[in-house]
Amino acid sequence: MAATEGTRKFIKFVSALAGAAGLILLMLFMIGTFTPNRVGPETDVPPAAEENPPEFTARAVVEKVREVERAVGTVRPRTESKIESQITARVLEVKVRPGDDVNEGDPLVVLDSSQPQARVAQARQGLQSATARKRQAQQAVASARAVLDEAEASFNRTKTYFEQEAATEQDLEKARSAYLQAKAGLERAEQGLREAESGVRQAAKVLEETEISLDYSVIRATESGEVARRQVEPGDLAWPGKTLVVLQTRGALRLEALVREGLIDRIEVGREMEVSLDVLDAPMQARVEEIVPSADPRTRTFIVKAALPEREGVYPGMFGRLLVPLGERTAVTVPGEAVIRVGQLEMVRLKNGDRWERVFVKTGRDLNGRVEILSGLHGGETVAVTGPAS
């Protein structure tokens, strides 16, 4: 019994000793004791020279660069016309589609003209009736004038006879009464003629208005341009105020940028400024045409409109930026071909004596083929490039 208890204690001691020895061996292996030529954490090893020196090199340059702020904006046409109907009618035909070029006066939309045509025919009949009444009134005036002339002559003869005592006073009064009645009849006839002439003018005006309404059944382009949107189809109902087609000026675009209020004093109407568009490789010059003289109270920005030169591939609705100059500052730049990017890391090959080393850097803006180096270089260093540096 006693021997068995001693055996168990011995086994436990040997097991504990073996575990401690194994732990020590593991620690020695982890620190590299059993690995030949392993470098420890405090070992000072010089950087190894690269076997292949670069074919092309360039210098990191300290230079003055322009500081700008990019005000985002949208490319829009200089003018945009919304073509609407002047009458209520059904759409029969739409002659244009988005992208079509049109000239002033070209037909765009054809409306149902049956009702305007009926009103024109009715107005023409009204004009004919008014003209007939005018002719009757003119004949009545002529007859009344003839009656007046005869009555006036009779009155004058009777007056002469009365003065010669060849006619009685009763004859004179009778002749005077006939004369006055004929005169009143002429006045009534002339009044009827004036009313008839007014009726003719009114009927002619109604005919003119109905003919204009008939012209409204064919909606034409108010100016030359390009069809931007088509918002109606055959069978739709058109009415005053409903947009049918949207026209935009052809080749006259501008960037409408939102500039914060702190920079608006740096911009003047007529000033040439740079504009960058994502579809273009390089910025282009634009002239400021308009500054809206009120800021948006929500964004505290002003709308600045800069006219763009004609450029292939630029269309309304594209995203752009207005480059507002802020001044100059000193920066270290290298050719863009000198920066090596591996995932999120950026580095350059730097010449250090007779060795070439890889140095981590942090880049900033692209400056017309060169890249701004925010950290890692101080200027004057020789760096490797993948091709001839410009």
CATH (domain of 103): 2.40.50.100
Same domain, 121 and 210: yes
Same domain, 297 and 381: no
Average pLDDT of the residues in 210-216: 84
Distance in angstroms (rounded) separating the CA atoms of residues 88 and 86: 7
Average pLDDT of the residues in 170-184: 87
Among the residue ranges 48-62, 273-287, 316-330, the one predicted with the least confidence is 48-62
Q: Give the pLDDT confidence score for residue 46 in this predicted structure.
A: 46
Q: Give the pLDDT confidence score for residue 90 in this predicted structure.
A: 92
The DSSP code for 32 is T
Average pLDDT, the chain: 84
Q: Give the pLDDT confidence score for residue 51 in this predicted structure.
A: 47
Residue carrying the six token digits 């009415």? 239
Q: Give the pLDDT confidence score for residue 210 in this predicted structure.
A: 86
**Among residues of the chain, what percentage have pLDDT more than 70?**
89
Same domain, 141 and 192: yes
Q: Give the pLDDT confidence score for residue 44 in this predicted structure.
A: 43
Q: Where are the beta strands (DSSP E) in 237-339?
A: 237-238, 243-248, 253-260, 272-277, 284-291, 301-307, 319-335
CA distances for 41 relative to 26, 30, 49, angstroms = 18, 12, 21
Among the residue ranges 41-45, 127-131, 369-373, the one predicted with the least confidence is 41-45
- Residue 378 in any domain: the answer is yes
Same domain, 157 and 88: no
Q: Give the pLDDT confidence score for residue 52 in this predicted structure.
A: 67
- Residue 37 in any domain: the answer is no
For residue 47, is pLDDT > 50?
A: no
- Residue 307: which of 296, 294, 291 has the closest Cα? 291
- Residue 23 in any domain: the answer is no
Same domain, 124 and 169: yes
Same domain, 191 and 132: yes
Average pLDDT of the residues in 156-183: 85
Same domain, 347 and 293: no
Same domain, 165 and 205: yes
Same domain, 318 and 257: yes
Q: 99 is in which domain, residue-wise?
A: 80-112+217-248
- Residue 303 in any domain: the answer is yes
pLDDT confidence bin for 68, thresholds 50/70/90: confident
Q: Give the pLDDT confidence score for residue 38 in this predicted structure.
A: 44
For residue 318, is pLDDT > 70?
A: yes
Q: Give the pLDDT confidence score for residue 14 in this predicted structure.
A: 67
Average pLDDT of the residues in 189-213: 89
For residue 132, is pLDDT > 70?
A: yes
Same domain, 294 and 265: yes
Count of structural domains within the chain: 4
Residue 359: CATH number of its domain: 2.40.420.20
Q: Give the pLDDT confidence score for residue 179 in this predicted structure.
A: 85
Residue 294: CATH number of its domain: 2.40.30.170
Q: Which residues contact 296 (CB under 8 A, 6 or more apart)?
A: 258, 302, 303
Tokens read off for 118: 């009926």
Same domain, 317 and 267: yes
Among the residue ranges 39-48, 77-86, 367-376, the one predicted with the least confidence is 39-48
Q: Give the pLDDT confidence score for residue 259 in this predicted structure.
A: 93
For residue 357, is pLDDT > 80?
A: yes
- Residue 51 in any domain: the answer is no
Q: Which residues contact 236 (CB under 8 A, 6 or more apart)?
A: 90, 91
Q: Give the pLDDT confidence score for residue 41 in this predicted structure.
A: 41
Same domain, 342 and 263: no
Q: Give the pLDDT confidence score for residue 365 in this predicted structure.
A: 82
Average pLDDT of the residues in 201-205: 91
- Residue 141: which of 181, 191, 184, 190 has the closest Cα? 190
pLDDT confidence bin for 27, thresholds 50/70/90: low
**Which of residues 303, 325, 347 is at a domain's end?**
325
- Residue 266 in any domain: the answer is yes
Residue 139: CATH number of its domain: 1.10.287.620
Average pLDDT of the residues in 305-315: 87
Q: Give the pLDDT confidence score for residue 269 in this predicted structure.
A: 92
Tokens read off for 59: 């210098």
